[in-house]
Amino acid sequence: SSVGTGDSSSDFWHVLAVFFPAVTGILSGVGMSGDLKNPSRSLPLGTIAAVLVGWGVYMAVPVGLHCFVSDRSALMNDPMIMQRCARIPWLIAAGVWAASLSSALGSLLAAPRTLQALAQDRAVPSIIGRGYGATNDPRLASLLGMSLAAVGIWFGNINVIAPVLTRFNLTAYALLNL
């Protein structure tokens, strides 16, 4: 069965594809953990709180929409149903835009720090981990990340790199949870 066919059940991968974006921001927090005062305490509490809040929102939205929308097929087939039900529809579009921008900025901040940490652990060449300034900014790691992104853009088709990126993300989340 699949989402959008009118069938009330969905397989695991469809449900994961819907919930996965709710927890992707957690990795940004983990990537910036070196800037926390007490990471060993803050990371577990913050991660658990983020997952629970994300789960709560993802459970509340369909229940709330179900109360306002009587057409079940609209709930399953209309990806912008929330905007159509909102009192101020443009706020939903602004929220989607802000969430997308937040995820992009989180990746821009976390990826270089993660590369820097890998270099300090000698998993990648140590030159990548060199920091600059009082805050130890990972400029070389940022340049490497930007270069990799440029190569991905050069492919010209996000569908070429999306499966690879998804595998990396799922592997990172599995290892973090382990």
Among 13-17, 84-88, 118-122, 165-169, the range scoring the smallest mean pLDDT is 13-17
Residues 19-48 have pLDDT tens digits of 666 666 666 666 666 667 887 788 788 878
Residues 102-160 have pLDDT tens digits of 777 877 778 888 888 888 888 889 898 899 998 888 999 999 988 887 887 787 777 77
Contacts of 62 (CB under 8 A, 6+ apart): 75
pLDDT-above-70 percentage for the chain: 76
pLDDT bucket at 5, cuts 50 / 70 / 90: very low
Is the pLDDT higher at 76 or at 178?
A: 76
pLDDT bucket at 9, cuts 50 / 70 / 90: low
Q: What is the pTM of this model?
A: 0.56
State the Cα torsion 58-8-13-66 to the nearest 10°.
Answer: -10
Which is nearest to 138 in space by CA: 167, 161, 109?
A: 109
Radius of gyration from C-alpha coordinates of the chain: 19
